[in-house]
Amino acid sequence: MTRVTLVTGGMGGLGEAICIKMAKMGYSVATTYSPGNTKVAAWLADMKQKGYNFHAYACDVGDFDSAQACVDQITKEMGPVDVLVNNAGITRDMTFKKMDKTNWDAVIKTNLDSVFNMTKPVCDGMTDRGWGRVINISSVNGQKGAFGQTNYSAAKAGMHGFTKALALEVARKGVTVNTISPGYIGTQMVMAIPQEVLDSKIIPQIPMGRLGKPEEVAGLVGYLASDEAAFLTGANIAINGGQHMQ
Ligand code: NDP
């Protein structure tokens, strides 16, 4: 039977590349979009024209009930989720001095609570079936911290704590749990940074002298989702052009 992958935030820059990679590997692909997103039909049609038959479900990943309802619907319509890619995320950057509770909560909810909300309804099924993959998209800034990102760095670092703990709990059940920590990838999230900041502050920090490509991250997701990666769990894999080495 065809395995089912669920990619949260699959219509975003990284998410779309991940959806395409998983489809090329022969998985059925479901993605989530934020309730109220008006571009879904056009995106699905565009993908269909390119040869990808994706399924999209409205879900606020920061809301537990919404996540549960979304997974229930996917299970009913496509079958149980075998690979979960927790990719949806937001930034609300400001120095800690200016950081208010609203922007702290928004980032923690969308980037970290979401990992619990989405993994909870799929994990028992994976262990019962004896096969599963949970892949959490974190960030280099969760590893090294970043000016103006106390909220984002905390959420992304927390994601990896979750990865290590859950990896231990499900290791004997055929389920792997891993974190990918990308550096700066040329998606809308990064292109929203003013060009002069990119040129003067960010790219000079990257030994490869360029932003990463979404397809490069998607390739790593594809490997982690494969049978070949069965012995790899609890890892945090950096993919950042040499910007930060641990
Ligand atoms: P985008 O902004 O392009 O995409 C983010 C996606 O998250 C969108 O599809 C968005 O859906 C979805 N999303 C946001 N909030 C919610 C929500 N509450 N419920 C459901 N979906 C939601 O970002 P990227 O593709 O660049 O980033 C993807 C992931 O990679 C993020 O977790 C990010 O932190 C991480 N990352 C990105 C890096 C980069 O350089 N780009 C570097 C390191 C990590 P919608 O549009 O429908 O709201």
Q: What CATH number has the domain bearing residue 92? A: 3.40.50.720
Residue to mutate, 6, 11, 14, ligand 1, most ligand atoms under 8 Å from C-beta: 14
- pLDDT, tens digit, 9 for 90 and up, residues 123-164: 999 999 999 999 999 999 999 999 999 999 999 999 999 999
Q: What is the 8-class DSSP label of residue 187? A: S
Q: Which domain holds residue 120?
A: 4-239
* In a domain? residue 246: no
Structure tokens, 154:
């905390």
C-alpha radius of gyration, the chain, whole number: 17
Residue type for position 202: I
For all residues of the chain together, what is the average pLDDT? 97
- Look at residue 188 in the predicted model and tell me its pLDDT: 84
* In a domain? residue 245: no
Q: Which of 27, 33, 57, 152 is catalytic?
A: 152
Q: Tell whether the model's pLDDT for residue 41 goes beyond 90.
A: yes
- Look at residue 13 in the predicted model and tell me its pLDDT: 94
- pLDDT, tens digit, 9 for 90 and up, residues 4-19: 999 999 999 999 999 9
Q: What is the percent of the chain where pLDDT is above 90? A: 97
* In a domain? residue 113: yes
- pLDDT, tens digit, 9 for 90 and up, residues 112-128: 999 999 999 999 999 99
* In a domain? residue 35: yes
> Which atom of ligand 1 is nearest to 11's Cα?
9
How many domains are contained in the chain?
1
Max Cα–Cα distance, the chain, nearest Å: 53
Instruction: For residue 223, indicate whether it is catalytic.
Output: no
| Location of structure tokens 């099924």 | 125
If you average pLDDT over residues 191-206, what whole number do you get?
92
Cβ < 6 Å from ligand 1: which residues? 8-9, 11-15, 32-34, 37, 59-62, 87-90, 110, 137, 139, 182, 184-185, 187-190
* pTM check: above 0.95: yes
Q: Tell whether the model's pLDDT for residue 233 goes beyond 90.
A: yes
Nearest to 6 by CA among 237, 221, 231: 221
The Cα 228–Cα 167 span in angstroms is: 17
- Look at residue 19 in the predicted model and tell me its pLDDT: 98
- Look at residue 189 in the predicted model and tell me its pLDDT: 80
* In a domain? residue 244: no
* In a domain? residue 18: yes
Residues 8 and 56: beta-carbon distance below 8 Å: no
- pLDDT, tens digit, 9 for 90 and up, residues 49-102: 999 999 999 999 999 999 999 999 999 999 999 999 999 999 999 999 999 999
Structure tokens, 53:
């038959």
* In a domain? residue 51: yes
If you average pLDDT over residues 104-108, what whole number do you get?
98
Could you give the residue ranges of the DSSP H alpha helices within the chain? 13-24, 40-49, 64-78, 101-108, 114-129, 140-144, 150-170, 188-191, 195-197, 214-225
* In a domain? residue 19: yes
